[in-house]
Structure 1
């Protein structure tokens, strides 16, 4: 695919790492189109292998699909928001990669919960019972019900819903859910219910509940596990988010605004030793996976760095920037291990965004003096490394035509930054 016209202009905007309406719109559309494509691919796979899928699972999947369609007809904006939520992408990636068998059956059961959440948020009447073998019912992007039952009944009208565990004897305690008719936001109250914490000034969730927030086996090397809801220090995470966004706002208001709009979830990871660790999943753009940053500067840099991995992953799905299956590796200044061309592209883009941020921070009158000094030092160190990595990209035969155009635009932006005036003074 080749980008032309307005889309070509958006490609230039994206290469500059700046927050522009045209590029944001392109990425939003690309993400949603990708989700619909993967959802359809899962439906086709289920239909193709229906004889190998548990009959009850197959029936529930079909009923859930119909419920999702009814909710979409009622509130397409709400269903789009749910489908585009990061953990929906994590689920689709896991389900499409799982061999046919009991593992796939377990993944398919997720559509029950996804459709029920869509119905609850859209005010679409629903009556169904979902299986929760581990006793945890997670409504993606909303919250979690912890129950001693393996089955939960879900019912709703236009503005209220109810979750009732099926327990031996009398009916179990009920959780009441209320839907905001304007936004489709869902809140709950009752025994065993925990809502996701919404980070201030945004719609981003501190997602420490969803089973698809981190791939099975963890993320990174060595693998990092997701922090469990029971041990998450929400006050500490909220403070880091607030201080990081405040620092970004004083340094670069446009970039702070982009973070508030584009980050959908912060996923806490278990800390391993000193220093924080950040990551993204290409299947789940908009989620920043990180151990607790040490302070405002660390948080600000993590948000900018990981957001640009998400942006590039979404763009690459829309228009491939590099080829697949090549074995060549390259040395870059910010990593000790050699990287494939995909890693060079991602690292260059994320560090170009940081270089842009540090240049602005070095001269930002509203930024703390210590941040200005550190930013100038970081700029001096990383700017040259980004230039060397750009040379690798532009000399490589592994980039597509669009990838080469993108790298040329990155080089133009890199050259425009030059030396940060007063960076180290």
Structure 2
């Protein structure tokens, strides 16, 4: 029914919104394999279209490719970490979707900084020129330097790298390989801005990366990314910490899953009315949660669980296709005012099934605050009915694959096991 490396037991646990540690490892491996394929597809495209691209851009891209290969030989785990970072996926999608010629050439500049990030973290000696669009050297998953020049020179030896505008005699910035075994970088000087780590996890509050949100924003009305000056990092950190504490009290296994899965939290602008929160994931960037600032710890906890399950399902569909493409049928679901294609029905049903599971546990567990318990009971009753209706749509559809039908059946079994908020856990 499923394809390796997922077993039927792991597939079933994922369908029931479980944290399936082994299954999640398989999903991450599948995503890594897909990302490498997309990177190779970009290399092939550059080779095929090289006559339409500035020769200097092609030359720098090929130099960066060789640098990435050298870094991979020196420290493969670090290179995988850089390539796995969510914004690397966003950049790849943008590059592969770019128009020919100058548009593609403009996107290729980002690859230079990705290769340099990997090489610096791997401890490779360097003496290389790198693009710094708008005078900023952006290092994925690390931070950025404001260098005031479109081309810079990086010279690295040992654990120290010095950065200067191309042709300058003195360094304008310094990067230090602070933790050689883990490949972690830190910068020195006023031109340096580091991504902030969220407590108790590997997640970063990413308000710097130029590829953290698509150019047109996300949602309706579109929400754009907040920049460093507009990000209330103290409140974000407090919300994250308090949300983790809530999840630890109600569902510690799911709390651990959130900490393992989320690589980046991307703050979004308020955009619409303040009472209307916004959160999203990008198919090209699993592991990133894009969100406006949640109003409370419980909202933050629910947002994280919701978006983690969108990422899980998108990753699973890449590994084991759950539905067929090309159909135009749309369906009504309880949580949306607009009709949804079958892929949207499945995504919404899965994420809301995970939330109904969380709300159920908030009602029956001893650790939930009274206010959240009352709200959870109300939302459970509402969304349990809505998810049930969506599951009927899925199981009556001919657009699911065989694996997709089994996945929906497993979802239905878990949905039925929840019963009512007064029933025992299934």
Give the structure-2-normalised TM-score.
Answer: 0.96
In structure 2, distance between residues paired with 1:94 and 1:6: 30
The residue number in structure 1 matching 2:28 is: 28
The residue number in structure 2 matching 1:88 is: 88
In structure 2, distance between residues paired with 1:173 and 1:89: 30
The residue number in structure 1 matching 2:322 is: 321
The residue number in structure 1 matching 2:79 is: 79
In structure 1, distance between residues paired with 2:172 and 2:97: 37
In structure 2, distance between residues paired with 1:126 and 1:166: 14
Q: Secondary structure at the match of 2:130?
A: strand
CA RMSD across the alignment: 1.5
| Structure 2 unaligned regions, length at least 5 | none
Which stretch shifts more, 361-370 or 342-351? 361-370
1:277-316 matches, cutoff 5 A: 277-316=278-317
Q: Secondary structure at the match of 2:334?
A: coil
1:29-44 matches, cutoff 5 A: 29-44=29-44
The residue number in structure 2 matching 1:194 is: 193
Q: Secondary structure at the match of 1:211?
A: coil
Q: Is the 8 A contact 2:145 2:191 kept in 1?
A: yes
In structure 2, distance between residues paired with 1:374 and 1:174: 51
Q: How many residues align structurally?
A: 422
The yes-or-no answer on 1:212 pairing with 2:211 is: yes
Residue by residue over 1:274-329, the C-alpha shift from the partner in whole angstroms, topping out at 9 and shown as x without a partner, is 23200010000000000000010110000000111011111111121111121111
The residue number in structure 1 matching 2:155 is: 155
In structure 2, distance between residues paired with 1:150 and 1:68: 22
In structure 2, distance between residues paired with 1:287 and 1:312: 14
The structural deviation recorded for 1:173 is 2.4
In structure 1, distance between residues paired with 2:418 and 2:24: 22
In structure 1, distance between residues paired with 2:5 and 2:182: 33
The residue number in structure 1 matching 2:114 is: 114
The structural deviation recorded for 1:147 is 2.4
Residue by residue over 1:121-140, the C-alpha shift from the partner in whole angstroms, topping out at 9 and shown as x without a partner, is 01111211112230111100
Q: Is the 8 A contact 1:57 1:108 kept in 2?
A: yes
Instruction: Give 4+ residue runs of structure 1 displaced > 6 Å after superposition.
Output: none
The residue number in structure 2 matching 1:420 is: 421
Residue by residue over 1:167-211, the C-alpha shift from the partner in whole angstroms, topping out at 9 and shown as x without a partner, is 76x535222322412211111111310000010001111011111
Q: Secondary structure at the match of 1:188?
A: strand
Q: Secondary structure at the match of 1:109?
A: helix
The residue number in structure 2 matching 1:345 is: 346
In structure 1, distance between residues paired with 2:27 and 2:355: 20
Change (3 A) 1:131 1:5: closer
Q: Secondary structure at the match of 2:230?
A: coil
Q: Is the 8 A contact 2:219 2:278 kept in 1?
A: no
In structure 1, distance between residues paired with 2:361 and 2:242: 18
In structure 2, distance between residues paired with 1:205 and 1:10: 28
The structural deviation recorded for 1:151 is 1.9
The residue number in structure 1 matching 2:243 is: 244
Q: Secondary structure at the match of 2:228?
A: coil
The residue number in structure 2 matching 1:265 is: 264
In structure 1, distance between residues paired with 2:14 and 2:159: 40
The residue number in structure 2 matching 1:60 is: 60
Q: Is the 8 A contact 1:10 1:26 kept in 2?
A: no
Q: Is the 8 A contact 1:52 1:101 kept in 2?
A: yes
Q: Secondary structure at the match of 2:7?
A: helix
| Structure 1 unaligned regions, length at least 5 | none
The residue number in structure 2 matching 1:393 is: 394
Which stretch shifts more, 215-224 or 251-260? 215-224
Q: Secondary structure at the match of 2:133?
A: coil
Q: Is the 8 A contact 1:165 1:174 kept in 2?
A: no
Q: Secondary structure at the match of 1:186?
A: strand
Q: Is the 8 A contact 1:74 1:122 kept in 2?
A: yes
In structure 1, distance between residues paired with 2:61 and 2:206: 25
The structural deviation recorded for 1:164 is 2.2
The yes-or-no answer on 1:371 pairing with 2:409 is: no
Give the structure-1-normalised TM-score.
Answer: 0.96
In structure 1, distance between residues paired with 2:171 and 2:183: 27
Q: Secondary structure at the match of 1:416?
A: helix
In structure 1, distance between residues paired with 2:2 and 2:11: 11
In structure 2, distance between residues paired with 1:178 and 1:261: 24
Q: Is the 8 A contact 2:6 2:26 kept in 1?
A: no
The structural deviation recorded for 1:157 is 2.5
The structural deviation recorded for 1:370 is 0.8
